[in-house]
A and B are shown apart, each in its own frame.
Chain A
Amino acid sequence: MTKHLGKFAFFAGLAAALVVGWLGLPAALYQRFDQPLQFSHALHTGDDVGMACEDCHGFDDDGRFSGIPTVENCTACHEDPLGESPAEQQLIERYIAPGVEIPWKVYSRQPDNAHFPHATHVVLAEIACQRCHGPHGQTDHLRPYEQNRISSYSRDVWGPSISGLGTEPWEGMKMSDCSNCHRERGVVESCLDCHK
């Protein structure tokens, strides 16, 4: 035992550091926030309702991406309750009735120093929403929003894997992810395209 104690100590240190780095770091690094309201994308885009992404996240008449829909969009359908879910009840009581905007925490919000034009990518390049947002439109509930305690960025910018190496193309919205996609498509890029 004494003979192998050195090796044991080395691997114990190795294992402890790996556990801290791979498991402890993500837990400590990201602060979790619940969304102010639960929302089922699956219900809205499913066969019963049959909405598409652009019905709520569309483009204005002048071509500008509308982003997260305002409560006015919700009011169009939910001014009166359509069902009996607690989430809809909250929507009406807390937001629609008093006319208050829902303080959504936006998973894919880019930092202030990056400018991402949806119109260029969705309309001109005809890139599907799922390319960057994955199956978000089919989710039944909103997962907690995770914010990096140091950079204050959303975890979705880095991607779910702490290694930064995603298995799906939509895992990660870093500058390198943008560049990779541009290179794959042969699109010329320059600093000022995104950093104005």
Chain B
Amino acid sequence: MGGFSRRNFLALLGGGVVGTVASPLPWKLLDDAAIWTQNWAWLPRLPRGPLSQKLSHCSLCPGSCGLRVRCVGKHPYGVAPVPGHPVSGALCAAGFTMHHLRYHPSRLRSALLRDGAGDLQTVANDEAVAKLAGWLADAAGSGEEAFAILDNRPGRVESLLYQAFLGAMGGGVYLTGPAEDLGAPALSNMLDRPSGPLGVDLSGARTVLSFGAALLDGWSSPGRTLGLFADAPSARPELIQAETRPSRTALKADHWLRIKPGSEAALALGLAHVIVKEELYDRDTTGAAHDFSGHEDGEYRTLLRRFSPALAGSVTGLSPDEIRKTARRFAQNTPSVAIIGADAGGGPLDPAAQLAIWGLNLLVGSVGRTGGFVPRRPLPRPAGWSNTHIAPARKVSDIPDGSIRLLLVDDTLPGPPLHPGALDRMLARDGRVVRLSPYEISPTLPTHMVLPAPAPMETLVEVLTPFDAPVASYGLAAPFYERPAGTLSPSELIRDLAERGGIASPRGSWPSKAAHLMLARAHAIHATGRGHIFRGDRGESTLAAAFTGEALWERLRNGACWTDDRAPASRPAQFHFLGTDAEGKSRLLATGEAAGTSDYPLTLMPFAWSRGAAPGALPQLMSKLYRESELRPAAGDALINPATARELGLRDRAAATLETPSGSRRVRIRFDGAVAPDVVHLCAGPENGSLGDEPYDSEESTLALSPIQTGGSWRATPARIREA
């Protein structure tokens, strides 16, 4: 073997390499190593045990979707929708993964208190509550309306407790958050007599004209809206989406009217112009209008004459012919409804636009009729909880500047974010914000203390009527996990504060558990003798009157859903198209295009997915939609038309600095050919921290760039951008 040279040795090695590649060794080891990394001992595992399905409801948003929770033993491992559920038989991506939220990295298990250096430090819960009680006593002693509770999910029994506590305290303010709604305040501004709650009968409509409502992306109850529009075109309403942003709804709608920023009112008035000019309106309804043809010399008609298709077209960027065609389609393919959509990031539509859109609905007679807006009975309250002795609900915009010294924010259930400007405005200079939340809070939100609350699926939660539902409904989200020790529910916090402050309940005592009040509500529902009970395990509804109050409660605790009977519909009595206040009229008359300036040539429009901008947490698995796959834009992504971007010297996916007169922040450019020229759509949520990806430290506020304008909207702000 003296001839076994280096060359022969290399040949031996080469043969070995070829043989190894031709054997299963590398491939099998690669496969096993990959599996090994999925089964490390420290990864949580489900216990083995009997599989079962339990019915419940999702509490992540007010959509009231039914849940089938799959469990191993008592442990949830999967969530699925309930087919045939009367409110919502489908789930959004967050709902499908809501059982992961218990394990979210930002989960809070003890109180956080801001120290002198401005950092949030962990403190014992008892110490934190004692400090809060002291702050409360200070605020209450400093004058009327210096303490407020902001409720992100009004209407619950916990909301009644808040109101009762504030009523018993005297001088406390109960605030409701910026919940999604149908623009009801604008309608009530038009009616002579206030109307009760309204819902929209989308399934009975033939045409839906949506002004920015994310009907195909989680608006209201995903099961109801997505299920409706998933049908064949012949079996569902025609969807016309009027929106600047190429949202999912806009891209999937039958017709997308890509209007210029802030031109919703002009579009609505232009459509109304055509409907009136061509006499396509509903004479029965318009006959009840003071300002259409009768008492006030037709002031509304006078306004409409200005908004010819040519003018509306120049303001909206649409062709006059497109406006005419849309108006005819809307007025002739009835029943038709015009829906007002608030954006979780972009905020509500301007009140003038809301007034103009309601005007469209009234013109075609879609208020108070099947296939349009229908009256809905309010959800019964527990017996003994009438409006006496409780603080009335007020809007944040009604609070005087700098008046609140202590604000308690209930973040136990996610809700649309309150604009930071609105919070800053009402807080006194030394005002404090305390949050009750299951999760850490983004540093962009003012917070002096966070108290740990139970997470979803850890406590019994009421699931109330969605804002757009044609009938009232009621269900319960059942607890599936033990709550971590030390977490405080709203009812426990109120009871604790009342005991420390010596605040007596006008009803004798403060309930220790919200479930007692929920039981009382179930009895109140039973007492109405109305409605049906839907049981998801059987997929059928039975008359609620067939049960006793106790049996109804048991059904509800086991995941059943109560739905009310339809209320009789009637057309509105007397109303004003231009609203009853002078401000509404002047806003409508001043309707025009939001234009940029020479310093700020672009228009910034923040936006967010309805579940994505809430201050809480999203299931960690959703990170795959935002960070790993980039299927959805996340906070800080700025969508811009490639032509506009190139003019400004911007590159796709490059970092840039976005500036408005209110400030600046770093953004990441994303080219999107469907974005209108000279517009930047900046995603306001979800933030990295809420997806559990990174700590909250590096977050920059998005909404702070868009100050609240007259009327409470912040949809369009002049801006400029440069590559960082």
Residues of A within 8 A of B (CB): 1-2, 5-7, 9-18, 20-22, 25, 29, 64, 111-113, 115, 148, 150-153, 158, 162-164, 192, 196
Total contacting residues, chain B, CB less than 8 A? 37
Verify if B543 is at the interface (C-beta below 8 Å from A).
Answer: no
| A66: nearest chain-B partner, CB-CB | B50
A152 touches B96 (CB 8 A): no
* Distance, CA A36 to CA B711, complexed state (A): 77
A14 touches B9 (CB 8 A): no
Question: B27-35, B114-122, B155-163, B363-371: which lies at the A interface?
Answer: B27-35
Partner of B15, one of A14, A20, A153: A14
Q: Could you list some 21 contacts between A and B, CB below 8 A? A: A5-B3, A5-B5, A5-B8, A6-B7, A6-B8, A9-B4, A13-B15, A13-B17, A14-B15, A17-B23, A18-B22, A21-B19, A22-B23, A25-B23, A111-B35, A112-B39, A150-B29, A150-B32, A150-B33, A151-B39, A192-B96
How far is the CB of B9 from the nearest CB of chain A, in Å?
A: 7
Partner of A9, one of B8, B46, B77: B8
How far is the CB of A144 from the nearest CB of chain B, in Å?
A: 19
A-B pair count, CB < 8 Å, reads 109
Nearest first, the 7 A-B pairs at minimum CB distance are A21-B23, A17-B19, A13-B15, A196-B78, A13-B16, A14-B15, A151-B35
Question: Would A16 and B16 be within 8 Å (CB), given that A25-B24, A163-B24 are in contact?
Answer: yes
| A195: nearest chain-B partner, CB-CB | B78
* Distance, CA A96 to CA B3, complexed state (A): 70
Interface residues of B in 14-54 (CB under 8 A from A): 14-20, 22-25, 28-29, 31-33, 35-36, 38-39, 45-46, 50-51
A162 touches B28 (CB 8 A): yes
B25 touches A21 (CB 8 A): yes
Partner of B39, one of A15, A25, A64, A111: A111
Residues of chain B contacted by A22 (CB below 8 angstroms): 23-24
Known: A13-B13, A151-B36, A151-B39. 18 other contacts (CB 8 A): A1-B3, A9-B12, A14-B15, A15-B19, A16-B16, A17-B15, A17-B19, A18-B23, A20-B25, A25-B23, A111-B35, A111-B39, A150-B35, A150-B36, A152-B36, A152-B39, A196-B70, A196-B77
Contact bitstring B294-322, A, C-beta under 8 A = 1, else 0: 00000000000000000000000000000
Residues of chain A contacted by B25 (CB below 8 angstroms): 17, 20-21, 25
Verify if B11 is at the interface (C-beta below 8 Å from A).
Answer: yes
B19 touches A153 (CB 8 A): no
| B32: nearest chain-A partner, CB-CB | A150
Question: Would A153 and B8 be within 8 Å (CB), given that A25-B24, A162-B28, A196-B78 are in contact?
Answer: no
How far is the CB of B77 from the nearest CB of chain A, in Å?
A: 5
B19 touches A162 (CB 8 A): no
How far is the CB of A64 from the nearest CB of chain B, in Å?
A: 6
Residues of chain A contacted by B38 (CB below 8 angstroms): 113
* Distance, CA A70 to CA B15, complexed state (A): 53
Interface centre among A5, A22, A29, A153 (most CB of B within 10 A): A5
How far is the CB of B141 from the nearest CB of chain A, in Å?
A: 54
Contact bitstring B475-509, A, C-beta under 8 A = 1, else 0: 00000000000000000000000000000000000
Residues of chain B contacted by A196 (CB below 8 angstroms): 70, 77-78
* Distance, CA A6 to CA B33, complexed state (A): 35
A10 touches B3 (CB 8 A): no
Partner of B19, one of A7, A13, A148: A13
Contact bitstring B593-628, A, C-beta under 8 A = 1, else 0: 000000000000000000000000000000000000
| B23: nearest chain-A partner, CB-CB | A21
B51 touches A14 (CB 8 A): no
Residues of chain A contacted by B35 (CB below 8 angstroms): 111, 150-151, 153
Residues of chain A contacted by B20 (CB below 8 angstroms): 17, 20-21
Question: Would A64 and B19 be within 8 Å (CB), given that A6-B11, A153-B35 are in contact?
Answer: no
* Distance, CA A66 to CA B697, complexed state (A): 50
A10 touches B11 (CB 8 A): yes
B39 touches A164 (CB 8 A): no
Partner of A13, one of B11, B32, B33, B77: B11
Question: Would A112 and B29 be within 8 Å (CB), given that A12-B12, A12-B15 are in contact?
Answer: no
A14 touches B19 (CB 8 A): yes
* Distance, CA A138 to CA B70, complexed state (A): 35
Residues of chain A contacted by B18 (CB below 8 angstroms): 10, 13-14, 17
How far is the CB of A22 from the nearest CB of chain B, in Å?
A: 5
Residues of chain A contacted by B14 (CB below 8 angstroms): 10, 13
Residues of chain B contacted by A21 (CB below 8 angstroms): 19-20, 22-25
Contact bitstring B42-83, A, C-beta under 8 A = 1, else 0: 000110001100000000000000000010000001100000
Residues of chain A contacted by B31 (CB below 8 angstroms): 151
* Distance, CA A21 to CA B30, complexed state (A): 13
Residues of chain A contacted by B3 (CB below 8 angstroms): 1-2, 5
A112 touches B45 (CB 8 A): yes
Residues of chain A contacted by B9 (CB below 8 angstroms): 9
B23 touches A13 (CB 8 A): no
How far is the CB of B256 from the nearest CB of chain A, in Å?
A: 29
Question: Would A29 and B28 be within 8 Å (CB), given that A5-B8, A21-B23, A152-B39 are in contact?
Answer: yes
| B76: nearest chain-A partner, CB-CB | A196
How far is the CB of A190 from the nearest CB of chain B, in Å?
A: 12
* Distance, CA A111 to CA B31, complexed state (A): 14
* Distance, CA A11 to CA B11, complexed state (A): 8
How far is the CB of A156 from the nearest CB of chain B, in Å?
A: 15
Residues of chain A contacted by B39 (CB below 8 angstroms): 111-112, 151-152
How far is the CB of A196 from the nearest CB of chain B, in Å?
A: 3
* Distance, CA A5 to CA B2, complexed state (A): 11
| A23: nearest chain-B partner, CB-CB | B23
| B53: nearest chain-A partner, CB-CB | A62
How far is the CB of B102 from the nearest CB of chain A, in Å?
A: 15
| A15: nearest chain-B partner, CB-CB | B19
Interface centre among A15, A16, A18, A111 (most CB of B within 10 A): A18
* Distance, CA A103 to CA B219, complexed state (A): 52
| A163: nearest chain-B partner, CB-CB | B24
How far is the CB of B176 from the nearest CB of chain A, in Å?
A: 36
Question: Would A20 and B4 be within 8 Å (CB), given that A13-B15, A150-B36 are in contact?
Answer: no
B77 touches A10 (CB 8 A): no
How far is the CB of A15 from the nearest CB of chain B, in Å?
A: 7
| B9: nearest chain-A partner, CB-CB | A9
Residues of chain A contacted by B12 (CB below 8 angstroms): 9-10, 12-13
Residues of chain B contacted by A111 (CB below 8 angstroms): 35, 39
Residues of chain A contacted by B32 (CB below 8 angstroms): 29, 148, 150-151
